[in-house]
């Protein structure tokens, strides 16, 4: 019988010739992700009685969830993370302002096709856009990985989502994901490998693809997978070459050797499911049949077409997060904002996903367009997503957001409402002062 991507990926990660869904394996991930919570993980790590991380070269750490530090406690946590990074010799560390871990590690080509990455963030599923096995785990599990280099995992059953066609104007992969989750429920992919197939995937831009496995965390998925193609390989090749040049300039022979090896195996290390692989569930979506969708409070699967929710007044519109904080997203928002102003009753915020995104947006004129419309730009990072700062709503306020979660209190205020939508819908709503369809604003 053929094998799914998940079965192949965890066979590789556990050093076995093959695995089967339901099997327990001892996985040795290629990368271990953490962010601001590294400080808390380190305290757990020390309780294990271990002094040194077994494989510090595998660790990837950002400061991104509460940046710049909004409180003394956050600042203290950041100081502890920096100290840990120095003590353990962690190579892949990114400071305040570089951006959100999932975006930054993609930009830095630290995760490659066929790799396994486990991380103390639920959206580690994000790396499925690269053809990697990415899964979120708990802090104690990350501490164990630091100590031993391995962790037991149950090989997930897999479901197959066949995607065909092309997206219509003003419809995005965020709308596709909301449609899928609305149809099957927020537990529809629970502990499954959600594997995407079909000619529709290859027609999507790379930034559009990134949205899909990221949002599958809200579907309950253990991991998600998109098959890597030449566009993905070219993206990674260019970024690996950039890292190689930097390592050569620093005369870092260890890093040079590692990157040269990754370049040599970039395509051959990719994994693809077999045509005869067994899936527990299969569904199909035609992208051309989709329309803008909105998730209403307080569940991500409380989804409706925008025609059913438009007109709801909003006080805050927010662009950003690891789901929709990229260049393509601010470009779509600016297509709506250009020559228009944010409504007097509404405020529009943007947290770029990374410094690279912010710099490109500045060069392309998107920053000027956004500011001229009355928008507010904050530091690259997670921003208001988990209610730390930079956009906490007041009691009774309504936020329309390009984020991934809308449960009660997610943005810091239980007595408020969060609607989820694409960046274009967020921008249109900011202009109208109510939830609005960009097709009616722009024409």
pLDDT beyond 80 at 380? yes
pLDDT attached to residue 5:
98
Query: Are residues 345 and 274 part of one domain?
Result: no
What is the SS3 string spanning 294-362? EECCCCCCCEEEHHHCCCCECCEEEEEHHHHCCHHHHHHHHHHHCCCCCCCCCEEEECCCEHHHHHHHH
User: Which residues does the annotation place in the binding site?
Assistant: 322, 382, 385
Query: Are residues 200 and 62 part of one domain?
Result: yes
Query: Are residues 304 and 366 part of one domain?
Result: yes
Q: H-helix or E-strand containing 159?
A: strand 157-164
Domain span at residue 435 reads 296-442
Strand order in the sheet with 316-319: 303-305, 293-295, 417-420, 398-401, 316-319, 347-350, 376-377
Query: Are residues 302 and 196 part of one domain?
Result: no
Measure the CA–CA gap between 208 and 214, rounded to whole angstroms: 11
Backbone angles phi, psi at 172, to 5 degrees: -130, 175
Q: Which of 248, 283, 318 is the last residue of a domain?
A: 283
Measure the CA–CA gap between 46 and 30, rounded to whole angstroms: 22
User: Over the stretch 10-42, which tens digit does the pLDDT of each residue have?
Assistant: 999 999 999 999 999 999 999 999 999 999 999
Measure the CA–CA gap between 107 and 98, rounded to whole angstroms: 11
- What is the arithmetic mean of pLDDT over 59-68? 97
User: Over the stretch 270-327, which tens digit does the pLDDT of each residue have?
Assistant: 999 999 999 999 999 999 999 999 999 999 999 999 999 999 999 999 999 999 999 9
Instruction: Let me know: does 354 contact 100? Beta carbons within 8 Å.
Output: yes
Instruction: Let me know: does 355 contact 107? Beta carbons within 8 Å.
Output: no
pLDDT attached to residue 388:
85
Backbone angles phi, psi at 432, to 5 degrees: -80, -25
pLDDT attached to residue 443:
75
User: Which residues does the annotation place in the binding site for [4Fe-4S] cluster?
Assistant: 322, 382, 385
Measure the CA–CA gap between 202 and 24, rounded to whole angstroms: 33
Domain contains 88: yes
User: Over the stretch 230-284, which tens digit does the pLDDT of each residue have?
Assistant: 999 999 999 999 999 999 999 999 999 999 999 999 999 999 999 999 999 999 9
Domain contains 290: no
**Percent above pLDDT 70 for the chain:** 100
User: Over the stretch 89-132, which tens digit does the pLDDT of each residue have?
Assistant: 999 999 999 999 999 999 999 999 999 999 999 999 999 999 99
Query: Are residues 324 and 179 part of one domain?
Result: no
Indicate which CATH number applies to the domain containing 304.
3.30.499.10
Domain count along the chain: 2
pLDDT beyond 80 at 87? yes
Give the ranges where 37-172 is alpha helix by DSSP (H).
38-47, 72-88, 101-107, 139-148
């Amino acid at each position: 019988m053929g094998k799914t991507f998940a079965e192949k990926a965890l066979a590789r990660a556990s050093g076995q010739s093959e695995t089967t869904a339901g099997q327990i394996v001892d996985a040795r991930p290629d990368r271990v992700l953490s962010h601001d919570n590294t400080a808390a993980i380190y305290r757990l790590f020390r309780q294990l009685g271990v002094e040194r991380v077994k494989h510090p070269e595998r660790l990837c750490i950002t400061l991104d969830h509460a940046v710049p530090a909004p409180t003394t406690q956050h600042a203290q946590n950041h100081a502890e993370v920096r100290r840990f990074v120095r003590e353990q010799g962690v190579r892949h560390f990114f400071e305040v302002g570089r951006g959100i871990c999932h975006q930054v590690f993609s930009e830095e080509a630290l995760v490659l096709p066929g790799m396994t990455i486990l991380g103390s963030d639920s959206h580690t599923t994000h790396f499925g856009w690269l053809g990697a096995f990415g899964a979120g785990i708990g802090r104690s599990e990350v501490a164990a990985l630091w100590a031993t280099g391995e962790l037991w995992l149950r090989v997930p059953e897999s479901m197959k989502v066949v995607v065909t066609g092309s997206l219509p104007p003003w419809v995005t992969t965020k709308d596709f994901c909301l449609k899928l989750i609305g149809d099957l429920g927020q537990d529809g992919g629970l502990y499954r490998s959600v594997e995407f197939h079909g000619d529709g995937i290859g027609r999507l831009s790379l930034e559009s693809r990134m949205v899909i496995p990221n949002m599958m965390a809200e579907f309950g998925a253990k991991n998600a997978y998109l098959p890597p193609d030449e566009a993905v390989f070219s993206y990674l090749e260019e970024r690996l070459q950039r890292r190689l040049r930097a390592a050569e300039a620093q005369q870092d022979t260890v890093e040079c050797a590692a990157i040269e090896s990754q370049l040599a195996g970039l395509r051959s290390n990719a994994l693809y499911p077999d045509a005869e692989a067994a899936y527990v569930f299969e569904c199909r979506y035609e992208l051309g049949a989709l329309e803008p969708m909105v998730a209403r409070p307080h569940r991500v699967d409380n989804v409706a077409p925008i025609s059913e929710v438009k007109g709801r007044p909003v006080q805050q519109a927010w662009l950003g997060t690891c789901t929709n904080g990229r260049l393509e997203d601010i470009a779509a928002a600016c297509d709506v904002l250009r020559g228009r102003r944010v409504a007097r009753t509404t405020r529009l915020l943007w947290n770029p996903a990374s410094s690279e995104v912010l710099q490109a947006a500045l060069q392309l004129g998107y920053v000027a367009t956004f500011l001229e419309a009355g928008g507010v730009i904050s530091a690259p990072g997670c921003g208001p997503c988990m209610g730390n700062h930079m956009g906490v709503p007041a009691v009774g306020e309504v936020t329309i957001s390009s984020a991934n979660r809308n449960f009660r209190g997610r943005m810091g205020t239980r007595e408020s409402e969060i609607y989820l939508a694409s960046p274009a819908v967020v921008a249109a709503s900011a202009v109208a002062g109510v939830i609005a369809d960009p097709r009616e604003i722009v024409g």
